[in-house]
């Protein structure tokens, strides 16, 4: 259905607005939509009245073509010229409806009575009241949501503050963890360096080598320059430049000194004025302590501007260990010199009896004091017999060498009274047991009588002698030996005899020649017999010294030389035809 109003005056506009309001209400247009529609229509009507002329308002109450399921209330406002049809609408609007038309068909021709206009005005106020009520509800709801949003924002802000605080605490924890990890890594690095340096310093028993090693260990990580000042070493000090006064104080007091333009604040270190020799360069002077004295001073300059306090503590400990290592090396060198002097005094020249050639080799161990209890000797008895002996005192060092010297002297004294090899070993056993109950020895004694082709020998806990006959065959003399000398056991050591033809060679030796830790002693004795069997008879007869070297060379190829090696060769010369 279509309703049309021609508008030329304010009354016409009011009537059109009132009728449109009734149509919208009659078709079930919601209050808010109706209010928006009428407000827009009022504004358009005011503009039309201001322009003047005749205007036409058309209201359609049917659904648009093709959309019967969506009924609408459609409005159109257009100007009507005086001499022609209406122009195209200048304003259009549409609102959905929910109820069929309830207004009479003659609504458009109803006269504009004052009562109708008043009633329409009151109806518009009712609509406005309804809209205002809805607006109040919306404002209340908006205020509620605003407060709720405010509370939510406050909670979010509090949460963000808590998250920021938690993040800051976490960052602080991470920073503390990184600092602790860095500190632990630095401590581990210092401890590793200290352990490795200690191993390197104590591995040597040469104090000069230790002094040379210190700069290699410290530069450039912990020092820019390193000077090792050993007190009393006049040869090394000859021509050396003067040293800082702080080094003299450290040597005199035995306390670490730090000389620099500004205090170092290093733990355990005394601050002193800068050195007059180098006023701008810091010096850390660390004493090298020994048991009851100060051996010297370690003078360092920093790798940078100064030392870290923890590095200074580590350097003080390193200097203490270096002093101990130097002291041990100097004591070892002193004892080694005494032992070597004693050893040279004991290894006398061998005799040269007619019909018998002797050759001996003594090689000290390459570890320790380089001196032990291995010994050999050869001398004549009053009846013209020749005694050849080889022995081994347990242990190493000066004490073993002194004990070996006493046994050697005792044997020569006992041999003056005569006596067979077994008898001499028995007397040495009693001598050692009473003289040094906690020390033991092994020995082999062989006696050669001039003009006889019989060898008399006896052994006490010692590896068996090896005999090579003129035809090149080699065998060990493994008859029952006695026990070790000096053990708490009464024993009478037996003599043994073996035929000794001209051209035969007897080898006496200590266990350092044949014994290996991984294989024992038996394989070594077999190798010795093999080495003697391949010797040329000519070498044994004419160059026994070279023959001794030919035996030692293959025997010592796999030796670690952790024990002394002693070899004594006795070769019976062949008879010269008349």
Q: Look-up: residue for tokens 């670690």?
A: 560
- Residue 102 pLDDT more than 60? no
Judged by average pLDDT, the poorest of 9-23, 177-191, 358-372 is 358-372
Please give the structure tokens belonging to residue 439: 């020390």
Tens of pLDDT along 320-377?
Answer: 999 999 999 888 888 777 766 766 676 678 898 888 999 999 887 765 555 667 889 9
Does 89 fall in a domain?
yes
Is 376 found in the same domain as 278? no
Is 304 found in the same domain as 358? no
- Residue 297 pLDDT more than 90? yes
Please give the structure tokens belonging to residue 396: 């190493």
- CATH code assigned at 484: 3.60.40.10
Of the three residues 112, 128, 151, the one that is the final residue of a domain is 112
Does 138 fall in a domain?
no
Does 94 fall in a domain?
yes
In sequence order, what DSSP letters do the residues of 253-274 get, joined into one string? H-S-EEESSS----TT-EEEPP
Does 149 fall in a domain?
no
Is 521 found in the same domain as 394? yes
Q: From CA 355, how far away is CA 501, in angstroms rounded? A: 11
Is 403 found in the same domain as 264? no
Of the three residues 334, 355, 382, the one that is the final residue of a domain is 334
Is 59 found in the same domain as 7? yes
CB 445 within 8 A of CB 425: yes
- CATH code assigned at 224: 3.30.450.40
Judged by average pLDDT, the poorest of 126-135, 228-237, 559-568 is 126-135
Is 533 found in the same domain as 387? yes
Of the three residues 112, 144, 162, the one that is the final residue of a domain is 112
Is 86 found in the same domain as 213? no
Tens of pLDDT along 332-341?
Answer: 888 777 766 7
Is 409 found in the same domain as 283? no
pLDDT given for residue 458 in this prediction: 96
Is 430 found in the same domain as 562? yes
- Residue 106 pLDDT more than 70? no
In the chain, the number of structural domains is: 3
Is 367 found in the same domain as 278? no
pLDDT given for residue 257 in this prediction: 92
Does 31 fall in a domain?
yes
In sequence order, what DSSP letters do the residues of 452-488 get, joined into one string? --EEEEEEESSPPPEEE-TTS-EEE--SPPB--BTSS
Tens of pLDDT along 490-539?
Answer: 999 999 999 999 999 999 999 889 988 777 888 889 999 999 999 888 88
Q: From CA 165, how far away is CA 401, in angstroms rounded? A: 78
Does 34 fall in a domain?
yes
Is residue 344 classed as helix, strand or coil in its secondary structure? helix
pLDDT given for residue 366 in this prediction: 61
- Residue 242 pLDDT more than 50? yes
Does 146 fall in a domain?
no
CB 375 within 8 A of CB 340: no
pLDDT given for residue 500 in this prediction: 92
Containing structural domain, residue 28: 2-112
In sequence order, what DSSP letters do the residues of 41-64 get, joined into one string? HHHHHHHHHHH-SEEEEEEE-SPP
Is 366 found in the same domain as 328? no
Q: Is the pTM of this model over 0.95?
A: no
Pairwise pLDDT comparison (300 vs 562), residue with the higher score: 300
Chain-wide mean pLDDT for the chain?
Answer: 85
Does 130 fall in a domain?
no
Is 326 found in the same domain as 377? no
Tens of pLDDT along 456-494?
Answer: 999 999 999 999 999 999 999 988 899 999 998 899 999
**pLDDT band for position 85 (cuts 50, 70, 90):** confident
């Amino acid at each position: 259905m279509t309703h049309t109003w021609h508008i030329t005056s304010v009354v016409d506009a009011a009537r059109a607005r009132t009728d449109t309001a009734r149509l919208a209400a009659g078709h079930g247009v919601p209050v808010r939509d109706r209010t928006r529609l009428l407000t827009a229509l009022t504004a358009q009507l005011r503009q039309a009245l201001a322009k003047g002329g005749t205007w036409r308002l058309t209201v359609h109450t049917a659904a648009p073509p093709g959309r019967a399921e969506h009924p609408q209330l459609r409005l159109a406002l257009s100007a009507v010229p005086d001499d022609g049809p209406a122009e195209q609408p200048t304003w259009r609007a549409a609102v959905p409806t929910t109820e069929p038309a309830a207004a009479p068909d003659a609504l458009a021709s109803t006269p504009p009575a004052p009562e109708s206009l008043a009633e329409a005005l009151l109806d518009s106020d009712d609509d406005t009241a309804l809209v205002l009520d809805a607006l109040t509800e919306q404002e209340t709801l908006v205020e509620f949501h605003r407060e709720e949003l405010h509370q939510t924002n406050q909670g979010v802000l509090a949460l963000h503050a808590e998250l920021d605080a938690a993040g800051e605490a976490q960052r602080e924890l991470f920073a503390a963890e990184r600092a602790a990890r860095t500190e632990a890594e630095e401590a581990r690095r210092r401890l590793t360096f200290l352990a490795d340096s200690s191993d390197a310093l104590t591995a040597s028993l040469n104090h000069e080598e230790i002094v040379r090693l210190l700069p290699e260990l410290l530069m450039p990580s912990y020092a820019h320059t390193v000077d090792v000042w050993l007190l009393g070493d006049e040869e090394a000090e000859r021509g050396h430049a003067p040293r800082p006064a702080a080094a003299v104080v450290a040597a005199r007091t035995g306390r670490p000194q730090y000389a620099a333009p500004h205090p170092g604040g290093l733990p355990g270190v005394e601050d002193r004025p800068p050195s007059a020799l180098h006023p701008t360069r810091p010096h850390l002077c660390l004493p090298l302590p020994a048991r009851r004295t100060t051996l010297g001073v370690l003078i360092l300059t920093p790798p940078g501007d100064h030392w870290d306090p923890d590095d200074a503590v580590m350097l003080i400990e390193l200097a203490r260990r270096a002093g101990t290592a130097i002291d041990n090396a100097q004591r070892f060198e002193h004892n080694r010199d005494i032992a070597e002097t004693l050893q040279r005094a004991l290894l006398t020249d061998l005799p040269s009896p007619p019909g018998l050639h002797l050759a001996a080799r003594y090689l000290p161990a390459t570890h320790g004091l380089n001196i032990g209890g291995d010994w050999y000797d050869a001398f004549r008895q009053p009846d013209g017999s020749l005694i050849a002996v080889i022995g081994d005192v347990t242990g190493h060092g000066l004490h073993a060498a002194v004990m070996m010297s006493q046994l050697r002297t005792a044997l020569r004294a006992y041999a003056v009274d005569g006596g067979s090899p077994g008898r001499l070993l028995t007397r040495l056993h009693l001598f050692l047991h009473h003289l040094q109950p906690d020390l033991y020895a092994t020995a082999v004694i062989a006696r050669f009588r001039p003009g006889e082709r019989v060898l008399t020998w006896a052994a006490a806990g010692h590896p068996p002698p090896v005999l090579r006959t003129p035809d090149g065959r080699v065998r060990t003399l493994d008859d029952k030996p006695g026990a070790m000398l000096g053990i708490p056991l009464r024993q009478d050591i037996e003599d043994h005899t073996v035929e000794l033809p001209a051209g035969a060679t007897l080898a006496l030796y200590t266990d350092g020649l044949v014994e290996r830790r991984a294989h024992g002693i038996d394989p070594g004795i077999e190798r010795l017999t093999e080495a003697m069997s391949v010797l040329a008879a000519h070498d044994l007869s004419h160059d026994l010294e070279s023959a001794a070297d030919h035996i030692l060379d293959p025997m010592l190829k796999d030796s670690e030389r952790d024990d002394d090696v002693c070899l004594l060769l006795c070769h019976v010369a062949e008879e010269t035809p008349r």
